[in-house]
Amino acid sequence: MIQIHDKHFDIFIDQETLEARIAKLAEQIDHDYAGRCPLLIAVLNGSFLFVAELMKNIRIDCEITFIRLNSYEGTGTTGKVKQILGLSEEISGRDVVIIEDIVDTGHTMAELLGQVTAKKPRSIEIATMLHKPEATRIPVTLKYVGFAIENKFVLGYGLDYDGLGRNLPCIYQLAE
């Protein structure tokens, strides 16, 4: 068991299991995008280790770019609106794969999908290291999912708790 800030966490997915699964996702991408040079769009900060491991295992030609989401209070009915920062690449006509650390309620991904789709890529799919199906409020189609997990807070492998824990080489879960 480890402690981060005030909370205790137990190991949940070890590094070997996690990286073996990520290698499988890379194999699927190799197969699905053969001859198409996909553009990976990784959402910072949380996806940086996942996308590094994924990309190391992809054998076909591919490119990468990084974006951040700026959260601000909107005046519309949705309340919080997130805006993409850093997407300078021309993506119209590209085969895009959005890379996320975790899909929880689905709000972030739904917003992102809408904004990236508006830039007219040829195709768009999502790869997420983790998915919490029970927490999902806005259904989005997730083509590549590392692990579907229960609705408990997790950290490590890029995911943080209040800034800490991103450097942990495996996934930890909040202890009971």
Residues annotated as catalytic (active site), given as ranges: 104
> Rule CB under 6 A: is residue 128 a binding residue for ligand IMP?
no
Q: Which is nearer to ligand IMP, 98 or 154 (CB)?
A: 154
Say if CB 39 and CB 66 are below 8 A apart: no
Which one among 12, 22, 40, 46 touches ligand IMP, defined by CB under 6 A? 46
Q: Which is nearer to ligand IMP, 107 or 143 (CB)?
A: 107
- Pick the stretch among 11-19, 28-36, 55-63, 107-115 that binds ligand IMP (CB under 6 A): 107-115
Which one among 70, 71, 105, 117 touches ligand IMP, defined by CB under 6 A? 105
> Rule CB under 6 A: is residue 154 a binding residue for ligand IMP?
yes
Say if CB 55 and CB 30 are below 8 A apart: no
**Taking the complex as a whole, how short is the minimal distance between the CB of residue 30 and ligand IMP, in angstroms?**
25
Which one among 19, 53, 104, 125 touches ligand IMP, defined by CB under 6 A? 104
**Taking the complex as a whole, how short is the minimal distance between the CB of residue 134 and ligand IMP, in angstroms?**
12
The per-residue DSSP string of 15-63 comes to HHHHHHHHHHHHHHHHHHTTTS-PEEEEETTTTHHHHHHHHHH--S--E
Place of tokens 């949940």: 12
φ/ψ bin of 165: left (φ > 0), alpha (ψ from -120 to 50), beta (otherwise): left
Q: Which is nearer to ligand IMP, 18 or 33 (CB)?
A: 18
Say if CB 24 and CB 17 are below 8 A apart: no
Q: 131: which strand partners?
A: 103, 148
Q: From residue 120, how far is each of 37, 40, 54, 85 by CA, in Å?
A: 17, 15, 25, 17
Question: What does the binding site for ligand IMP look like in residue numbers (CB under 6 A)?
Answer: 46, 100-109, 153-155, 159
